[in-house]
Chain A
Amino acid sequence: MRERMGTAAALPYLAPALVVVGLVVLLPLVATVGLSFTDAARGSAGHFAGLAQYAKLAGDAGFWRALVFTTLFAVGTVAVEVALGLAVAGALVPAFRGRGWVRVLLLLPWALPTVVAGRIWEWLFHYQYGVFNLLLAGAFGEGARVDWLGSIPTVYFSLGIADIWKTTPYVIILALAALLTLDAEVMAAARLDGARGGFIVRKVVLPLIAPALLIVAAFRLVDAFRVFDLIYVLTGGGPGGSTVSVSLYAYQQLFAVGDFAYAAAVATASFAIFLLLALAYVVVYQRSRAFRGGVL
């Protein structure tokens, strides 16, 4: 009876899920890496080309520009989102009249499609009819209009605001869940010991929710690094290619240029970045655990 419950017996139940994941995730991952070592392009099957695509990648200013932009975008937005999300989550811990409504309303930007968010902000930032420029022109005259999406560096600010609007709710939801798991007794004990608000936040609350915050920040960071939808809708990578992300760059190589092998090399690079971030998270997580283990 015992051996019936082993891995072999479990396989028929696991197989359907594993087959789907293998077919859609593992096989394409490996095949994409393989494709990046060829010179395949639209209309040509291609041959083995060694590291030719990676040599091209190393010297491609367009790729490096996309990488720098994506890094700054990811780090900048996630830093603001985590700080802002934590602050709002903290404000939602004590009960007040209408808290349920606030929570539902805060869920909305997270829940709606990123494309819708992109269209919403495209409309708000519209040069002629957007609400910001209508207000500016009404208050200070026509000359006060700002080209929110068509000028550098304003476009970075506009993209950042749209992304912060869309994804801070995610941080709020998860930070609030972490805050609500805090032991009421620990908090009461800290207060009995004479600790004050700021001290409790810094020395009791933050260390206790640090692991949860770390994973939220990690999730957000890898998600921001693959940013595509928002930029595709809001700027299309413009003006002048200033907001092309790594994912958008690979997409352009695939469709606009038709260079399959090079697109695969860019995609492989973006997967390598993901692996590095995942690895960095694991290292930081282990360190912080070791650190807390030493203290407690």
Chain B
Amino acid sequence: MKRGFPIAVAWLAAVFAVAPILWVLITSVTPAEKLVQGRVGAGFSLASYIRVLSHTEFPLCIINSALVALLTTLFTLALGLIAAYALTRFRVVAKPLILALLLAIPLFPQISILIYLYLAASRLGLINTYAALIVPYTALALPLAIWYLVAVLDDIPRDLDNAARLDGCAPLRTLTSVLMPLVLPSMVAVGLLVFLLSWNEFIIALVLTTDAKARTAPVGLAMFQGTHYIPWADITAAAVVVLLPVVLLAFFGQRMLVAGLTRGALK
């Protein structure tokens, strides 16, 4: 009894977490004519997926999202690593202040920069471009990467740097050939988290894209009307397509995601 109660609580929470996702999955493979009768789960059909992936602009949204998230991740890791290197291997004035200010960046309301970003992007003709998304995403993800990598680089003894320097290594060379192999697992962890955040981002993409072909997957999904007389067959199929990579990431990268999340927040 005493041990049984927490286990029941844990499983109840897990069921509450998964049941809505499963219901949507079941809906997405229910034939549309069964859905209009309110018979979710009666029969099996992939017609919704075929419609969504071949008769709408949704596949373009998926490609946009994948490219934007991938490029954001690469830029964030590159800029974040050299910034973290500078913050740990040089004596930078006001380092605690810089880190504290960085922490605020992913937390403040995006709307307070978004109005200007929209006006500036309109003036520069950047609406509907990848650059208009990648640059803000990188800026908002950088603090996370810097915090994480500063903590990791701080744990690596300076003797390694000194040895490399005595061997005639320039600082950048020290970073790429001595330190980087050591921080590579951490970069994968933080990279997964950045990819996830970029893949999921909505409000910036909503404001900075107007063309249906330039939308990211979340914006495409939010705007998705469905192509059928009961659009929910298609909407749920589109939702499953968007959450599939996330579920895979959660299953195979669970440890790294949790590490990235907790290390960023609690250290």
| Dominant secondary structure at the A interface | helix
The complex places the Cα of A216 from the Cα of B38 at a distance, in Å, of 41
Q: Which residues of A contact B230 (CB under 8 A)?
A: 129
Give the residue of B102, B119, B232 whose beta carbon is less than 8 angstroms from that of A129.
Answer: B232
Cα-based distance from A112 to B18 in the complex (angstroms): 12
Q: Point out the residues of chain A lying under 8 angstroms from B38, CB to CB.
A: 128-129, 134
* Complex partner residue of A102 from B13, B35, B217, CB under 8 angstroms: B13
**With the chains together, A271 CA to B107 CA distance in Å?**
10
The smallest C-beta distance from A20 to any residue of chain B, in angstroms, reads 5
B144 nearest CB across to chain A (Å): 12
**Which stretch, A52-60, A151-159, A187-195, A218-226, touches the partner chain B?**
A218-226
Task: Please determine whether B112 and A267 come into contact, CB atoms closer than 8 angstroms.
Answer: yes
* CB-CB nearest in chain A for B241: A116
Bound CA span A25–B112, Å: 9
Q: Is A131 touching B23 in the complex (CB atoms < 8 A)?
A: yes
Name the B residues within 8 Å of A165 (CB-CB). 16-17, 20
Most buried by B among A17, A27, A134: A17
Q: In the complex, A114→B197 CA distance in Å?
A: 11
Is B47 interfacial (CB 8 A cutoff)?
Answer: no
Contact A109 B109 (CB under 8 A): no
Contact B87 A103 (CB under 8 A): no
What band does the interface of chain B fall in when counting residues whose beta carbon is under 8 Å from A? Answer: 35 or more
B6 touching A90, Cβ below 8 Å: yes
Q: Is the interface of B mostly helix, strand, loop or mixed?
A: helix
A98 to B115, alpha carbons, bound, how many Å? 47
Chain B CB within 8 A of A80 CB: no
Q: Please choose the segment from A170-178, A199-207, A284-292 that sits at the chain B interface, where 4 or more of its residues have CB less than 8 A away.
A: A170-178
Kindly specify which of B49-57, B177-185, B257-265 makes contact with the partner chain.
Answer: B257-265
Chain B residues, CB < 8 A from A169 = 17
Which partner residue on chain B sits nearest A33 by CB separation? B112
Q: Is the CB of B90 within 8 A of A120?
A: no
**Is B243 interfacial (CB-CB < 8 Å)?**
yes
Question: Is A208 among interface residues, defined by CB-CB distance under 8 A?
Answer: no
Contacts of A212 in B (CB 8 A): 266
Offer 9 A-B interface pairs, CB within 8 angstroms, sorted by A.
Answer: A13-B90, A28-B115, A32-B112, A96-B3, A113-B202, A124-B23, A129-B35, A225-B109, A254-B207
Top 6 nearest A-B pairs (CB, nearest first) are A13-B86, A10-B90, A24-B139, A91-B6, A226-B109, A28-B113
Residues of B within 8 A of A (CB): 3, 5-7, 9-11, 13-14, 16-18, 20-21, 23-24, 27, 35-36, 38, 40, 79-80, 82-83, 85-87, 89-93, 102, 104-105, 107-120, 135-136, 138-140, 142-143, 146, 171, 196, 199-200, 202-203, 206-207, 217-219, 221-222, 230, 232, 235-236, 239, 242-243, 246-247, 249-251, 254, 257-258, 261-262, 265-266
- Given A13-B171, A274-B107, 5 more contacts at CB 8 Å? A108-B21, A128-B38, A129-B40, A229-B218, A247-B109
